[in-house]
Structure 1
Amino acid sequence: MAKRRKGKKKKTSKIDIQEQSYQDAPHSFVFHRGHVGRNVKQLVIDTRNVMEPFTAKNLQVKRKNVLKDFVSVAGFLHVSHFVMFTKTDVGVYLRLCRLPRGPTLTFKVHDYCLSKDVISSLRKPNLEQIQFLNHPLLVMNNFSGAGNHVKLMATMFQNMFPSINVHKVKLNDVRRCVLVSFDTDTNLIDFRHYNIKVVPVGMTRGVKKIMQAKIPNLAKYGDISEYMNRAGYSSESEVELDGPVNEVVLPQQIKSRGNIKSAKSAVRLTELGPRLKLELIKIEEGICEGQVMYHSLITKTEAELAAMKALREKKKKAKETRRQNQQANIQKKQLEKEKHKEKSLEGIRRKNMEDEVEQPETLVPADEDDDIDYYKQEVGHLPDADSFVPGKNKRKKLVTERNPVVKKRKIDVKGKKTDNVAKGDKSSKGKREFTKGKNDRTSNDKNQKKSKTEGKTPFDIMMERKKRKKKMVEKKKNKFKGKKKKV
């Protein structure tokens, strides 16, 4: 038996752990559907700030986008929830969808207040951008109702935000808080968004200024003790909001000044906005479709529910049959297209074969006897005596019917053009004209050219041509100048 080799265990780095925790966290898309107006669009932006950093802050929504577009992209981006705002003539509605199979909760927005309105009403708002780098802490109040719809609603809100491990959480990362409070009497939900700040307990205003590195003006005092113990600044009237309700003992060290580990500090909340007052209308099984599990305004009998279920099943089957028919039609068109392509190729091949049969390439033999036989076979009688001259009618090239012999023009020694007709063409009046010694002269010129260019590089040949050309130009100029002088 061969022993197994022990492989090295892969070490998981901090970056891998952070990426895994980021993927496991619930992500969300916050967008609007249809025409909603300027205020609701601003409400969408404020809600995205609440859901940061696990949301698409710069999500672009266009008119032609449908819900299927967002669903198709959600799986790739690890999106688990949709937050959709819509507006009708009755009012504004909010839908919370759980992907990929639902449920969908529909809320009616009775009242809402934008973040800019909340911040403008505060004396000292906290708008640090560093607080949006970590997810908010979810606080739920009074969701202990007996109804199943209340439990489902509480579960939906809990799953929208990442869970917190109490033993591993870092207090420096907890900068924001989302409060969701349910009123059992009115069945309304209050949605609030706060900034969390921790300040030391029992410090006067003067000590806080010194702790914050803001040096006060001490010109009126002889000693710093007079500044610290002056009347009206040692009282606790300025910290009357602090008490046993919001005082805690810090288990960890916090970055803000004055807060010491294992010392008492006060927790203070500053509202960031937006504010929402919601009412649950209905709960559906799927994503904006499916069986209605709960409706606060309409109640139906079992017979009506059964009829609706049957209608839904019928629509589902009809949709499935349409899809199958469409798929079958696509396959049928593809087969017809391939058959048409094969037929067209077969027709092209057949046409090429017919052309080859009708117009065969006729090869002209090279010998005189074969030429006479070929002429007799094609024309039907023997050629004239002067048609085939021995040694002159040998054809080295193969001539086809598609490439007939073309008439050529030649220039004799004197420079006159003469029409040389193809061999065997008796109808034309042109005659061949040969001058004595022409072939000898051309052969001698070729030999002379060869002798001149032997042993020379292409560069030398080019330079000689340039010199000759220059001489010719100078000669013409001199000739032209002499004519002018005579005139």
Structure 2
Amino acid sequence: EQFASVPHSFVFHRGRVGRSLQQLILDVRRVMEPFTASTLQVRKKNSLKDFVAVAGPLGVTHFLVFTKSPTNVNFKLVRLPGGPTLTFKVTQYSLIKDVVSSLRRHRMHEQQFTHHPLLVLNNFGLQQMHVKLMATMFQNMFPTINVHKGCVNLNAIKRCLLISYNADTQLLDLRHYSLKVVPVGVSKGLRKLLQEKFPNMSRLEDISELLAKDINLSESEAEQDGTHNILELPQAYAGRGNMKAQQSAVRLTEIGPRMTLQLVKVEEGLSQGNVLYHSFVLKTEEQLRTALARKEERLRLKAERRRRQEADVQRKKEQREAHKKQSLAGIKRKQQQGEDGDSGAEDPGMPEDQDPADQSDDDAEYYRQEVGEEPDEGES
């Protein structure tokens, strides 16, 4: 029940994409783990309706769709089942392998992906409608965390996804980090002891030098640690020395991927509703009213066609029922006539008091009416 109550996602592409974009899709699936389809198979014949049909029983709430045009790479974020749809232009991106290869020391292991990342939104406090909508969409992509109830397990937070909005350039920067907590205020040698790494004490005269030496942080560590990332732990965190109510430093190591996005438009529904916002096309109120009137007219015509189709289907159904009843009645009459003939009764078409000459006159008159000619003497 807990697994089904959190948001789930599909990350896939539409149309033909290159090898780099396919790898980016796999990297984005790593970011969305564990509540995403990591091995989702996409075939050319699959349509968006196929994914929507499968998403319902699986509890999928979001689609992350990548497409490629001759000039751009586009990214659509869709909320199921009724929208909205946010369309972004991917101006820049870097793969996980590119980010990791640029680091001297990286921290990425499988245990980090057993829990969802911690989402951090920066500079989304603006009052524009599209900015608020983007913040809401990003927040609903991941399970909610209620820090006021104190039910957050710090050991479940191993990764961090930072989404920063630049109001001047109107660009979104996505960064994915690995999170590490280390104790502060101890020497490097003592930290090695806490990490079960026995230090080299060949140059020391006394064990106390190991504890007292280098009590301050080195220059490289001082550049990372400071008041901005040192805090008092409310819980014991994984790792030696990270005890409750002790000072520790939170360090972030980027593991990728990176993406720089530009919002293009916001639509109602699943990529087929009204355009609520467009960054390149600005319409006047008159144009909006005209577009709305055209859409209402299309909806009216569609409803009228549906009503006529339903009426035609009902009429044909009634005709089939009436024809079926007539056929059954005819079959019953034939069966009853056959039973009367088998009972030994005289031919009902030849009354007892009818003369054969009168019957011949009736046949001749019937022939004149049907054929329009006089019967031959032999036939009469």
Kept in 2: contact 1:139–1:180 (CA 8 A): yes
The structural deviation recorded for 1:118 is 1.7
Task: Find the counterpart in structure 2 of residue 81 from structure 1.
Answer: 62
Aligned to 2:138: 157
> Aligned pair 1:126/2:113, yes or no?
no
Q: Deviations over 1:390-441 (max 9, x none)?
A: xxxxxxxxxxxxxxxxxxxxxxxxxxxxxxxxxxxxxxxxxxxxxxxxxxxx
Match of 1:263 among 235, 243, 246: 246
The answer to whether the aligner puts 1:110 opposite 2:91 as a matched pair is yes
Q: How does 1:471-486 map to 2 (within 5 A)?
A: none
For each residue in 1:298-344, what CA deviation from the matched residue of structure 2 results, as whole angstroms up to 9, or x when unmatched? 11222222221111111112222232333333334433444444444
The size of the alignment, in residue pairs, is: 341
Q: Could you tell me how far 1:211 is from its partner in structure 2? A: 2.2
Contact 2:185–2:215 under 8 Å retained in 1? no
Deviation at 1:186, TM superposition (A): 1.1
TM-superposed deviation, 1:57: 2.7
1:294 aligns with 2:277: yes
Counterpart of 1:467 in structure 2 is none
> Per the alignment, do residues 326 and 272 of structure 1 end up closer, same or farther by CA in structure 2, a change over 3 Å counting?
farther
Question: Which amino acid letter does the alignment assign opposite residue 80 of structure 2?
Answer: L
CA–CA distance in structure 2, aligned partners of residues 127 and 66 of structure 1 = 35
One-letter identity of the residue aligned with 1:184? A
Among 174, 178, 186, the residue aligned to 1:191? 174
Return closer, same or farther for 1:336/1:215 CA change in 2, 3 Å cut-off: farther
Q: Secondary structure of the equivalent of 1:177? A: strand
Give 1:228's match in structure 2, choosing from 187, 210, 215: 210
Sequence identity percentage: 51
- 3-state DSSP class of the match of 1:328? helix
Aligned to 2:377: none
Is contact 2:190-2:210 (8 Å) kept? yes
Residues 230-255 of structure 1: CA deviation (Å, up to 9, x unaligned): 98898634523222221111111112
In the other structure, the counterpart of 1:41 is 22
- Among 166, 178, 199, the alignment partner of 2:161 is 178
Instruction: State the shift of 1:178 in Å.
Output: 0.8
Q: Say whether residues 1:29 and 2:21 are aligned partners.
A: no
What TM-score, normalized by structure 1, do the two folds share?
0.63
1:122 offset after TM fit, Å?
Answer: 2.6
Distance 1:235 1:33 in 2: 51
Deviations 1:338-386 (A, max 9, x none): 444444444544444444444569xxxxxxxxxxxxxxxxxxxxxxxxx
Is 1:278 matched up with 2:295? Answer: no
**Residue 142 of structure 1: how far off its partner (Å):** 1.5
Per-residue deviation at 1:189? 0.7
Determine the structure 1 residue equivalent to 2:368: none
Q: Which has the higher contact order (CA 8 A, sep 6+)?
A: 2
Name the SS of the counterpart of 2:191 in structure 1: helix
Q: Secondary structure at the match of 1:79?
A: coil
- Greater mean deviation of Cα atoms: 265-274 or 61-70: 61-70
Change (3 A) 1:60 1:335: farther
Q: Per-residue CA shift, 1:28-62, capped at 9, x if unaligned? A: 33222222233222222222222223333333333
Q: CA deviation at 1:171?
A: 0.8
The 8 Å contact of residues 206 and 227 in structure 1, kept in 2 or not, is answered as no
The answer to which of 273-282 and 97-106 deviates more is: 97-106
Q: For the structure 1 residues 222 and 28, does the alpha-carbon distance in structure 2 shift closer, same or farther, using more than 3 Å as the test?
A: closer
Q: Where does 1:221-370 land on structure 2 (aligned, <5 Å)?
A: 225=207, 228=210, 236-237=218-219, 239-240=221-222, 241-359=224-342
Q: Check whether the contact 2:187–2:212 (CA below 8 A) recurs between aligned residues.
A: no
Q: Distance in 1 between matches of 2:308 and 2:15?
A: 32
1:171/1:254 contact within 8 Å kept: yes
- 1:471 equivalent in structure 2: none
CA displacement, residues 133-191 of structure 1 (integer Å, 9 cap, x when unaligned): 22211111112334322222222222222221112211111111110111122111101
The answer (yes or no) to whether the contact 1:221–1:227 under 8 Å persists in 2 is no
Taking structure 1 as reference, are residues 140 and 235 closer, same or farther at Cα in structure 2, changes over 3 Å only? closer
Amino acid at match of 2:123: N
User: How far off its partner does 1:197 sit?
Assistant: 0.8
Give me the whole-angstrom Cα distance separating, in 2, the residues matched to 1:54 and 1:190: 22
Aligned with 1:64 (options 5, 30, 45): 45
Residues 1:108 and 1:206: Cα distance change in structure 2 (over 3 Å): same
- For each residue in 1:417-472, what CA deviation from the matched residue of structure 2 results, as whole angstroms up to 9, or x when unmatched? xxxxxxxxxxxxxxxxxxxxxxxxxxxxxxxxxxxxxxxxxxxxxxxxxxxxxxxx
Change (3 A) 1:238 1:109: closer
C-alpha separation between the residues in 2 aligned to 1:142 and 1:162?
21
Rg: which structure is higher? 1
Unaligned segments of structure 1, at least 5 residues? 1-18, 362-487
Note if 1:135 corresponds to 2:107: no
Per-residue deviation at 1:110? 0.2
Comparing 332-341 with 180-189, which one deviates more in the overlay? 332-341
Unpaired stretches in structure 2, ≥5 consecutive residues: 345-380
Contact 2:189 2:211 in 1 (8 A): no
What's the TM-score once normalised by structure 2's chain length? 0.79
Comparing 61-70 with 343-352, greater Cα deviation is found at: 343-352
SS in 1 for 2:22: helix
